[in-house]
Structure 1
Amino acid sequence: MNIGIFSDTYFPQLNGVATSIRTLAAALEKRGHHVYIFTPSDPRCHEGYDILNVYRLPSVPVRFVRDYRAGYVFSPFLAKKIIDLNLDIIHTQTEFCLGALGRFISTTQGIPLVHTYHTMYEDYVHYIGGGHIISKEMARDFSGIYCNKATAVIAPTRKTEQLLKSYGVTKPISVIPTGINTSNFRKDKFKPEEILELRASLGLKADTPVIISIGRIAKEKSIDVVISALPKLIEKLPDLKMVIVGEGNEIENLGKFADSIGVGDHVLFTGGKPWDEIGKYYQLGNVFCSASVSETQGLTFAEAMAAGVPVVAKKDECIENIIDDNVTGMLFESNDELPELLYRVLTDQTLSSRLSQASVEAMKALSVESFADNVENLYQRVLNSGEHPRKIAAPALPLVMGVKAVKGISKLPRKLVHHSHQKAAELLSSNKEK
């Protein structure tokens, strides 16, 4: 199959959508399919950065979401380049600029469209005008309309499926959790001296107790809840540190908040890190903690568990299929419970070891192979159904904005070179280990 994946977010942005896309694309390439990823350009990318067949469109920064970019070039030239790929399936992963481009190609060419719903936008309306411009109801309506334009919809969890049904989505919804390439996170991938060296670079001693947080740093991630637990913890563990890895527009606010409650010296922000280093950063932690209830799939929880790091998380439907309370992790309902729960995991070695071993075993079932099987089967069902969008005449596309944009488009390869399946296989080869 020729598969086009369209997404407004992808590496080097560090989030679950980017992880899900690369995991899926590599697995499908390994199976002999041709996967083309369309996403906005990013000034942090260098030549050779992309290990898969990625086409980066000219973009501009998104002012209200730090480190995010919006693709802004729609042109007949670009549309023709994509049409020439002879795509069998279009798979959109976001709903905005690149999602709109995917829909445009789908409707004008009669190509089936599968859409994965990753983000509960009603939890994100505060980014635009403080929530006064776009309401939660508008976000729900938008999500429902977009999903109902697809041929089929993927929800990463049952929670997301139920949410979409409440939005009025009537198209078929398949619940397909994102697979985890556990080799990227396994403890035995890293030498102890590597972790000690990384700790030292951050001013951490070998025995410094560390709470690790990894992912996008945003208001809806509720990182402030974890920081709020630190004063009571530090009374008992004065050397405790919280290491926050990632990028986002809440870094400054969280830093000020930590200072305001007297724990600023105990909170370290590392900034975003390259994907191939993330596994090492998980190993810094004695416990991974998140209070977010805005997730649709909870990939960072799964990554921490694959790394053998005990997880403490706020109880939520999105992680019910991942974390079994007091078996593969510890769950809390009230924020007041968090300091004592973290203290138990940080000081009770028997509990910590038990959680670590159980979580590693649990993550073996969430394989990349199962993820790819389920998505590949869905694609095939969609193609076999014969349900294609009714082909419509292309409306006039917006003009390319400026000479710089024209030059950006001209950089798209005129001859398509399929990325070597061998590299995709290398990316996933570790799934056969153990």
Structure 2
Amino acid sequence: MSTTDRPAPIRILIGCDTFLPDVNGAARFAERLAAGLVQRGEDVHVVAPSVRHNRTGTFVETIEGERMTVHRWASWRWYPHDWLRFVLPWRARGYARRLLDRVRPDVIHIQSHIVIGRALAIEGAKRGIRIVATNHVMPENVLDFTPPPEKAKRVFVRGGWTAAARVLRLASAVTPPPRRAADFLERNTHRRGVLPVSCGLRAANYTADLTPRSSNRLVFVGRVTLEKEIDVILRAIPRIDPALDVSLTIVGDGDQRRNLEKLAVELGIADRVRFTGRVSDEQLRAQLTGASAFVIASIAELQSIATMEAMASGLPIVAADAMALPHLVHEGENGYLFQPGNDRELAERIERVLRLSPEEYQRMQRASLDAVQVHDIDRTLDTFEALYRGEAVAG
């Protein structure tokens, strides 16, 4: 769409329970969404937890190269987790009322149904503001950060989905990333007409190396937490034929890093496993470009931006057959799936990729590059702008 053909800008308030400097899929999506909308000339405001303890204020921040207004609400660290911060629920509604009266947005786009998203949706609905909701959170995943007994977990999950349903019913559109996540949400909240919308990425920002590989280096990118099941990848490494001389780079950080480093020593593979910790975007892209394959064992991915980044880097993918990953990995085309938790099968799938002929390997690389095109960020932005304006969008 040309600049002259674009409708008048609208004021969009994006509510995030996790945002920069957090590193996770939901935060990265919100950052790219906000920056993309600013590039298109929309008036964007972001609400997010404070970076420093108990500090509320409005700031101009540079996100993905774009300057925008970010409203930071006083938040507290959840100490069982390595980065999670949350706004006190009994304060959030008051913050929301004051902000909405001041900003007067045309639309509110919440990124979760938890604290900030819940407060903005409830107070926005009272004012007749259009609500769009993207769901990045499953109550089951939150249990990774809490230690309740099994019976309490079941009660928590039921209560979590009930709370989600109360918030999501206020939205004119609900948009989890892939179709499988949309189906899962409909089953658990009884919300109908859920529209899957990809988180999107700009594939042109990533570089694919289609020349023959001189080494067999696997890469994983993501938070180093329980739900990612990185231990399954580590246990697969000793099962791979030693002649392939496989190494693994784990890009990211989290509360399980020390445990995984210890496991690598116990498995006798510490010299073949590298933990980079947090890296810059440029370093991340270089790690992907130089790898031989991307491996992910997570069982809780609602979309997996990291997997899409690997595809945009021309990598074959070996992924757990769980949640959204089968929507990204087409068996035998751009990679292989394995039974979740089965390190023996994972090792076999990795070997299968690394033993491909140069021609077959490059075919798999090109299949990843082709498959990621449907997740182009401009398609995502087009869809959300239509939803913001109340226009019909095909599912």
| TM-score past 0.5 threshold | yes
Q: Measured at CA, do residues 131 and 82 of structure 1 come closer, stay the same or move farther in structure 2, by a change above 3 Å?
A: farther
Alignment of 1:211-226 (within 5 A): 211-226=218-233
Give a deviation string over 1:321-346, Cα, whole Å, max 9, x none: 32211112222235422112212322
Q: Which has the higher contact order (CA 8 A, sep 6+)?
A: 1
Match of 1:23 among 7, 14, 32: 32
Distance in 1 between residues matched to 2:182 and 2:221, nearest whole Å:
26
Asked if residue 331 in structure 1 is aligned to residue 337 in structure 2, the reply is: yes
Asked if residue 120 in structure 1 is aligned to residue 138 in structure 2, the reply is: yes
Q: Measured at CA, do residues 221 and 104 of structure 1 come closer, stay the same or move farther in structure 2, by a change above 3 Å?
A: same
Letter of the structure 2 residue corresponding to residue 280 of structure 1: A
Letter of the structure 1 residue corresponding to residue 385 of structure 2: E
Query: What's the offset of the Cα at 1:278?
Result: 2.4
Distance in 1 between residues matched to 2:281 and 2:166, nearest whole Å:
33
Distance in 1 between residues matched to 2:369 and 2:228, nearest whole Å:
24
Distance in 2 between residues matched to 1:131 and 1:274, nearest whole Å:
38
- 2:264 — aligned with what? 258
Q: Which structure 1 segments of 5+ residues have no match?
A: 193-205, 385-434
Asked if residue 64 in structure 1 is aligned to residue 72 in structure 2, the reply is: no
Give a deviation string over 1:250-304, Cα, whole Å, max 9, x none: 1122222222222223221111223454222212321100111211112211110
Q: Indicate the SS of the match to 2:337.
A: strand
Match of 2:168 among 147, 161, 172: 147
CA contact (8 A) 1:147 1:169 kept: no
- 2:239 — aligned with what? 232
Distance in 1 between residues matched to 2:288 and 2:20, nearest whole Å:
18
Bigger shift: 289-298 or 374-383?
374-383
Bigger shift: 337-346 or 315-324?
315-324
Alignment of 1:233-382 (within 5 A): 233=240, 235-238=242-245, 240-333=246-339, 334-348=342-356, 349-381=358-390
Letter of the structure 2 residue corresponding to residue 343 of structure 1: E
Distance in 1 between residues matched to 2:273 and 2:38, nearest whole Å:
41
CA contact (8 A) 2:14 2:47 kept: yes
Give a deviation string over 1:297-322, Cα, whole Å, max 9, x none: 12211110001121111223513332
Match of 1:11 among 10, 15, 20: 20
Give a deviation string over 1:335-367, Cα, whole Å, max 9, x none: 422112212322433332211112112222321
Asked if residue 210 in structure 1 is aligned to residue 210 in structure 2, the reply is: no
Asked if residue 161 in structure 1 is aligned to residue 177 in structure 2, the reply is: no
Distance in 1 between residues matched to 2:77 and 2:233, nearest whole Å:
30
Bigger shift: 62-71 or 294-303?
62-71
- 1:403 — aligned with what? none
Q: Indicate the SS of the match to 2:300.
A: coil
Distance in 2 between residues matched to 1:171 and 1:365, nearest whole Å:
24
CA contact (8 A) 1:152 1:382 kept: no
CA contact (8 A) 2:17 2:116 kept: yes
Using the size of structure 2 for normalisation, the TM-score is 0.84
Distance in 1 between residues matched to 2:365 and 2:95, nearest whole Å:
52
Bigger shift: 213-222 or 360-369?
360-369
Query: What's the offset of the Cα at 1:52?
Result: 3.8
Q: Measured at CA, do residues 131 and 264 of structure 1 come closer, stay the same or move farther in structure 2, by a change above 3 Å?
A: farther
Using the size of structure 1 for normalisation, the TM-score is 0.77
Alignment of 1:190-205 (within 5 A): none
Distance in 1 between residues matched to 2:98 and 2:392, nearest whole Å:
23
Cα RMSD for the two superposed structures: 2.8
Distance in 1 between residues matched to 2:390 and 2:272, nearest whole Å:
52
Asked if residue 93 in structure 1 is aligned to residue 99 in structure 2, the reply is: no
Count of aligned positions: 366
Q: Which structure 2 segments of 5+ residues have no match?
A: 1-9, 54-58
| Identity, % of aligned positions | 26
Q: Measured at CA, do residues 212 and 99 of structure 1 come closer, stay the same or move farther in structure 2, by a change above 3 Å?
A: same
Query: What's the offset of the Cα at 1:230?
Result: 0.7
Query: What's the offset of the Cα at 1:47?
Result: 8.9
Give a deviation string over 1:24-75, Cα, whole Å, max 9, x none: 222222222111111113359x996533422333322221221222234548
Query: What's the offset of the Cα at 1:18?
Result: 1.7
Query: What's the offset of the Cα at 1:249?
Result: 1.5
Q: Measured at CA, do residues 319 and 109 of structure 1 come closer, stay the same or move farther in structure 2, by a change above 3 Å?
A: same
Asked if residue 180 in structure 1 is aligned to residue 186 in structure 2, the reply is: no
Give a deviation string over 1:220-265, Cα, whole Å, max 9, x none: 1111111110112263334x32111112221122222222222223
- 1:432 — aligned with what? none
Distance in 2 between residues matched to 1:41 and 1:235, nearest whole Å:
48
Query: What's the offset of the Cα at 1:81?
Result: 3.8
Distance in 2 between residues matched to 1:4 and 1:383, nearest whole Å:
21
